[in-house]
Amino acid sequence: MKDANNNQSLTAFSNSLVQATQAANASIVTVHARRRMPSTGVVIEAGLVLTASHTVREEADIQVTLADGTTLGAELLGRDPNSDLAVLKLVDAVGTPAEVNEQPQVGQVALALGRPGSNVEASLGILSAIGGPLRTHGGGLIESYLRTDATAYPGFSGGPLVDADGRVLGINTSGLGWGSLLAIPAKQAWKIAKSIQQHGGIKRGYLGVRSQWVEVPGEQASGLLVAGIEPESPAAAAGLMVGDIIIGFAGQPVRDHDDLMVQLNSGVVGTPTALKYLRGGKPQGAQVTLSERAEAPHRGRPGWGRHGRGGKRPFGRRPFGRHGMHHIAWGRRMRGWGRR
């Protein structure tokens, strides 16, 4: 009797996974944008597809195959190499948008889905970690990530990580490194997609300081010592001085360079934003209006490197810890000072 109950429970669980896959199926597409194997994409609204940037290598002749087998031409609206996301616009406003779950939980069952061929494929796992920020192998910084123990089969990049109801938890990618399947959380991925749709990329903020991680007294324990200020920069306009210690930005604590980078990339360009710092050991505050960091549009073929053909390449492949330096334009990191 016990074995029969166990078999019924296992069957019910198996059927729930089938139903989750079927629920997500209509929004999963095949992306033909590289010479080897196609990759996967997710319809985020009629006529728009979100996929993995590193798989979009041919920009002149992109084809997208919908769940019903219809193949359409598409153009690249833009990409964000830092998060390995790209947005494609179909020639027709068609496709079934995915449903989204913006509240992932560690331990929940998760399915990595892909459509590298004519049929959807699935890999079962659990959501093993929610973390961030994370420094990628290419030198970029992502605000948050999901990690799963599901297997990343060839062509799965750009596909969804879904919950037991078939709702998208995140967009899978194997292009960020670290040897495991990572996903950009759906809330963050949709926000990035909206920015790409509106601006062709992500507006990343420029503050205009060189800074060094230091210890500070109190609960926060650390901040960023201002070692230099660029003339006519937002930092200079806000009255920041060499020797100040930045401890907060946009209402969030700044304990190290990664904390600050996350806030500079959070969509606050052009908006007066609260800056907290210590001067002579006393807390001070100011309003700073970030300008946009001068980054060349990513128009090249990403097969030639993280910044496209002919683009600048990062100094190193691995992060060096919270004491490292950040270049003001690309967020590169070296031992020593940081510029933002």
Task: Break the chain into its structural domains and give their ranges.
Answer: 1-195, 205-295+308-339
Given a cut of 60, whether residue 207 has pLDDT beyond it is yes
CA dihedral sign, ordered 200, 206, 211, 216? negative
Q: Among the listed ranges 77-91, 216-230, 284-298, which one has the minimum average pLDDT value?
A: 284-298
Q: Does domain 205-295+308-339 have CATH number 2.30.42.10?
A: yes
Let me know if 137 is a catalytic residue. Answer: no
The active-site residue, picked from 27, 83, 157, 266, is 157
pLDDT at 204 (0 to 100): 79
Higher-confidence residue of 176 and 115: namely 115
Give the mean pLDDT of 278-287.
Answer: 93
Given a cut of 50, whether residue 12 has pLDDT beyond it is yes
Given a cut of 80, whether residue 329 has pLDDT beyond it is no
pLDDT at 179 (0 to 100): 64
Let me know if 54 is a catalytic residue. Answer: yes
Backbone angles phi, psi at 112, to 5 degrees: -90, 120
Alpha carbon separation from 152 to 90, 144, 266, 296 (Å, rounded): 26, 19, 29, 32
Q: Minimal CA–CA distance to 308: which of 18, 47, 33, 54? A: 54
Name the residue type at position 238. A
The active-site residue, picked from 54, 257, 298, 326, is 54
How would you write 236-262 as a 3-class SS string?
HHCCCCCCCEEEEECCEECCCHHHHHH
Query: Across all residues in the chain, what is the average pLDDT?
Result: 84
**pLDDT tens-digit series, residues 56-95:** 998 889 999 999 999 999 999 999 988 999 999 999 999 9
Higher-confidence residue of 219 and 301: namely 219
* Token pair belonging to 244: 């100040």
pLDDT at 312 (0 to 100): 33
Largest separation between any pair of C-alpha atoms in the chain: 79
Higher-confidence residue of 5 and 335: namely 5
The DSSP output letter for 24 is H
Alpha carbon separation from 246 to 47, 48, 270, 297 (Å, rounded): 43, 40, 20, 30
Report the range out of 155-169, 229-243, 276-290 with the highest average pLDDT. 155-169
Tell me the CATH number for domain 1-195. Answer: 2.40.10.120
The active-site residue, picked from 32, 39, 53, 84, is 84
Name the residue type at position 93. A
How would you write 85-140 as a 3-class SS string?
EEEEEECCCCCCCCCECCCCCCCCEEEEEECCCCCCEEEEEEEEEEECCEECCCCC
pLDDT at 41 (0 to 100): 98
pLDDT at 319 (0 to 100): 31
Q: What is the chain's Cα-based Rg? A: 22
50 vs 192: CA distance, rounded Å: 10
Q: Minimal CA–CA distance to 278: which of 235, 248, 238? A: 248
Alpha carbon separation from 93 to 43, 90, 97 (Å, rounded): 11, 7, 11
Q: Minimal CA–CA distance to 111: which of 236, 14, 216? A: 14
Residues 6+ apart with CB under 8 A from 135: 141, 258, 319, 333
pLDDT at 176 (0 to 100): 82
pLDDT at 307 (0 to 100): 32
Given a cut of 70, whether residue 117 has pLDDT beyond it is yes
Given a cut of 90, whether residue 171 has pLDDT beyond it is yes
